[in-house]
Chains A and B, each alone.
Chain A
Amino acid sequence: MNAIFGSIGLPEIVAGAIMVALTGYALTGGADFGGGVWDLLASGPRRDEQRRLIADAIGPIWEANHVWLIVAVVVLFTGFPAAFGVLGTILHIPLTIVLVGIVLRGSAFVFRSYGRADRAIVERWGLVFSIASVVTPLCLGIVVGAISSDAVGRAASLPVDAPFVERYVTPWFAPYPLAVGFFALVLFAMLAAIYSAYAAKTDALREDFRRRALATAVLVALAAAVSLFGSTSAAPRVARGIMTAPWAAALRACTAIAALSALAALVSRRYHVARLAAAAQVTLILVGWALAQYPYVVPPSLTIREAAAPTLTLELLLVGLVAGALVLIPSLRFLFKTFVRIDDVSP
C-alpha cells in the first residue's frame, strides 16, 4: 500500500480520473450495451414489453452515459499523449470495430425510436442495435485484456516493418483478451438485467429480468474465474497483482462480498440493494485491474510518469476536471432523478 500512496502525484491523480470516467462509463454506458444484449435475447410472452422497458430506460440517458467514454479518451490523450499514440496504433483494429459498433448502436437506436411505426423496419433496426450492443463491449473488453497482458506494449516495441499480423492482430486476437471481452460482455448484461428488474413496472416483467440477472451473475463468476485462470499464463502481471500484492486479499474479499450481496439481494428480490452491490462489484473489478497494472499505463514499458504530459498541462487539466465535475455531478443527479424510477420496491 505504501508503495502506492507514497508516490501519488499529479500524473497518478489524472490517471485516477481516467479510471473514474471508465467506471462511470461501465456503470452507465456499459449497462446501456447490456440492455442491447437483452433486446437481442428478448423472449417469452413479454418479449415486446421487455424491449420497450429497455428502450424507455435508455432513451433519455444513453447519450449522456456515452460521454463518459469521450471524457476518458480526452483525458488520456491530454494527460498521457504517448500512451494514446501507442494504443491508437497497435489497437487500431479492435478500436475501429468499437467505433463502428458505437455508431451503429446509437443510430440504430434512434432510427428505431423515431422511424415510421412499420414493424419490419423497427425490427430490422432493433437487430442492428442489439448486435452492435454485443460486439462493442466484447471489443472494449478485448482492448483491456490486450493492454493488461503486456501484449500491446511489446508489439509497440517491434520494428515498424514487423509483420502486420504480429504487430496489429496477435496482441489482441488471443485467448486471454477474448476471455476478458466475454467477461465485460456478461458483466454489462448483468448490470442491465439488474437495473431493468429495478425499473420494471409489473411483477411479471420484473421476474423476467430477475431470472436473467441471476443467470448472468453466475456467468460473471465463471468468466471471472476463466479470466483469472488465463491471466496466470497470459497476463502474469495481473495474476500477480490480484493474487499476491499486499492489497490483493482485501480487494478480493470486497469484490466477493459485493458479488454475493448482489446475488443474495436478487434471490430475496431486494432490487435496490442488488443494484448498489452490482455497481460496487463492477467498480471493484476495475479498481483491481488498475491496481494490478500500476504504475504502467501500457505495460511492460510505459509508466504513468513516463507517459505523462508536462506539469502545466496536468495542472490545467485537473482544474478543468474539478470545474467540470462541479457542473456535471448535480446535472447527472438531476437527469437520473428525472428518468430513473425513484419509488423503491424494497425497504
Chain B
Amino acid sequence: MASSGWLKLIAVSNLLAARAQMALSLGFHIIFAEIGIGMPAMMVLAEWRWRQTGDDVWLELAKRWARGTAILFAIGAVSGTVLSFELGLLWPRFMEFAGPIIGIPFSLEGFAFFTEAIFLGICLYGWERVSPRTHFFAGVVVAMSGAASAIFVVTVNAWMNTPRGVTLAGGRIAAVDPIAGMLNPSTIQQALHMALAAYAATGLAVAGVHALMVVRGSTRRFHRAALVASLSIGGPAAVLQPISGDLSARTVARTQPVKLAALEGQFDTEVGAPVRIGGWPDVDARRTRFAIEIPRGLSLLAFHDPAATVKGLSDFDRELWPPVPPVHFGFQVMVGLGTLMAIVAAWSLVVLVRGRDILANRNLLRALAIVMPFGFIATEAGWTVTEVGRQPWVVQGVLRTADAVTPMPGVVVPMALFTVLYIGLAAIVVMLIRSMIAQTQ
C-alpha cells in the first residue's frame, strides 16, 4: 500500500513539474513572440516615413530598433523551438490525440515563421545588400508573417478551449475535421485578442522607454519619431483591446461557463450577477471576499443583459473547478492593467492627432513611462486565465491534463534545468537591451 502511495505522489509531482515547465516555457516565449510581432510593424512604419520624408532620423530609428529586434527575435525563435519539442516531451498523449487536428494550424504557423525568419534576415543584415525598395518590402513581409504566425498558434489554443471537428469513439479519435477544428467558436476572438495584445504591449513598452529617456532629460529629436511610430502601432491596439476583451469574455461565458465563474469568483448561480473588482475567492467558504461589487455588472458584461443568469462554480462538480484564486487574480490584473493602458493610449492619440508636441507634455510622458511594462504583465496574466482557467482539462471536456502527461518520472529535473536556463537568459537579455538603450541617450 505504501508503495502505491509513493507512486501516486510521484505521478502528482510529475504532473506539476510538467505543468510548471510548460507554463515557464510559454510564459517566457510569449514575451519574445509578442515583440516579434510588434517590432517589425514599428520598424516598417519608421522605414516608410523615412522613404516618404527623406528625414534620416527615421532611418536611424529603424536601424536602432533592428539591433534590439535581432536579439529578441533570436530568443523567440529558440524558445519557440523548445515549445514545439516540449509538446511531445511533456505531453506525448496529448499530441498523439490532438496532433491530427492542431498539426494543421501548427504547420501553417511553421511556414509563416519560416517566411518571417527569412525576410527578417534580409531586414536586419541586408541594408547594404538590397535596394531600399526591396528592404522595405522585406519588412512588410516580416510584419505580415509575424501576425499570421500568431493567429495560427492561437488557433491551436482556441481549439483546446472549444474543441470542434473531433468524433470520439471509446476515448480515441474516430474521425477528424481539422478545418472545423480551426474554425472553432473561440478562434476569431482569441486571435484578435492576442494580436492586439502583441501590438499594444510592444508599442507601449517602446513608447515608455523613449518617454522615460525624455523625462530623464534627453532632448534628442529621435525620441519624438520613436514615440510617434510606437504609439501609432501600440496606441490604437491598446484602445481597441477592451472591446476585443469583451468579445472574448462573452465567448467564454457561452462556451466555458466554469472558466467564467472562476475568473469572476462567482460561486453561486445568480440572476443579475454583480461584477467583482478585486477580492479574494475563498474556495472553502465558496464566496469571494473583500471585492467591490457592481450590481448586475457581470450579467450585463457577459451576456449584455442585466437580468441574465450567470452560472456559479457550485453548479459544477468540485473536481472540475480550476484553481480559482490564480484565475480570478490573473483576470483582475489583466483587465486592470489593460484599462490603464487604454486610457494612456487614448490620451496619447488625442495629443498626436491634435498635432501637439508630445515631448512637451511631461505628464503624458510620465504616464507612458509608468505603463511601459503593463502590456507584458497583462499578457502573462491573461495567459494564466486562459490556461489555468481550463484545468483540469488540456482539451476542454475531452482530455484531462493528468492523462496527457509523459509517463517518464523525474520531470522535475528538466523543469529545474529550464528554469535556471531561462532566468539566466532573461537576465542577460535585459542587460543587453538596457545597454543598447543607454547608448541612445
Contacts and interface: CB of A to CB of B under 8 A. Distances in A.
Interface of A: 59-61, 63-64, 66-67, 69-71, 73-75, 77-79, 81-82, 84-89, 92, 95-96, 98-100, 102-107, 109-111, 113-116, 160, 164, 167-168, 309-310, 312-313, 316-317, 320-321, 323-324, 327-328, 331-332, 334-335, 338-339
A229 to B, nearest CB: 32
A338 B176 contact: no
B99 interface: yes
Contacts of A78: 99-100, 103-104, 106-107
Nearest to A324: B111
Interface stretch (B118-126, B203-211, B329-337, B353-361): B118-126
A74 B130 CA distance: 32
Contact of A338 (B84, B130, B177, B421): B130
Interface in B406-424: 406-410, 414, 417-418, 421
23 contacts: A64-B114, A69-B81, A77-B95, A77-B99, A78-B106, A81-B98, A81-B99, A86-B92, A88-B85, A88-B406, A89-B408, A100-B417, A103-B421, A107-B78, A107-B425, A110-B75, A111-B71, A309-B99, A310-B173, A324-B107, A328-B111, A338-B126, A338-B130
B117 A77 contact: no
Contacts of B70: 110, 113-114
Question: Which of B89, B111, B425: most chain A CB closer than 10 A?
Answer: B111
B382 interface: no
B175 interface: yes
Contact of B117 (A64, A109, A111): A64
A63 B120 contact: yes
Contacts of A109: 74
B136 to A, nearest CB: 15
B92 to A, nearest CB: 4
Interface in B280-312: none
B140 to A, nearest CB: 13
A77 B87 contact: yes
B120 to A, nearest CB: 7
A273 to B, nearest CB: 26
B213 interface: no
Contact of B74 (A81, A106, A316): A106
Contacts of B256: none
B129 A71 contact: no
Contacts of B410: 164
Contacts of A69: 81
B194 to A, nearest CB: 19
Given A102-B82, A313-B178, A327-B115, A60 B124 contact: yes
A5 to B, nearest CB: 26
Contacts of A81: 95-100, 103
A96 B74 contact: no
B17 to A, nearest CB: 12
Instruction: Give the dominant DSSP class at A's interface.
Output: helix
A116 B90 CA distance: 37
Given A84-B88, A313-B104, 9 more contacts: A87-B88, A103-B81, A103-B425, A114-B70, A168-B408, A320-B107, A324-B108, A328-B115, A339-B126
A320 B111 contact: yes
B97 A60 contact: no
Contacts of A88: 85, 87-90, 92, 95, 406
B398 interface: no
Contacts of A323: 111
Given A88-B85, A103-B421, A317 B435 contact: no
Contacts of A317: 103-104, 107
Given A59-B125, A77-B87, A114 B432 contact: yes
Contacts of B115: 327-328, 331
A335 B122 contact: yes
Nearest to B177: A312
A301 B171 CA distance: 23
Contacts of A115: 432
Nearest to B176: A310
B73 to A, nearest CB: 7
B80 interface: yes
Nearest to A71: B110
Contacts of B67: 114
Contact of B103 (A64, A102, A116, A313): A313
Contacts of B320: none
Contact of A324 (B71, B90, B93, B114): B114
B3 to A, nearest CB: 10
A107 B75 contact: yes
Contacts of B428: 107, 111
Contacts of A334: 118, 122
B424 to A, nearest CB: 9
A59 to B, nearest CB: 6
B113 A67 contact: yes
Nearest to B414: A96
Nearest to B408: A92
Given A107-B74, A110-B71, A316 B179 contact: yes
B377 interface: no
A77 B87 CA distance: 9
Contact of A103 (B78, B109, B125, B179): B78
B419 to A, nearest CB: 12
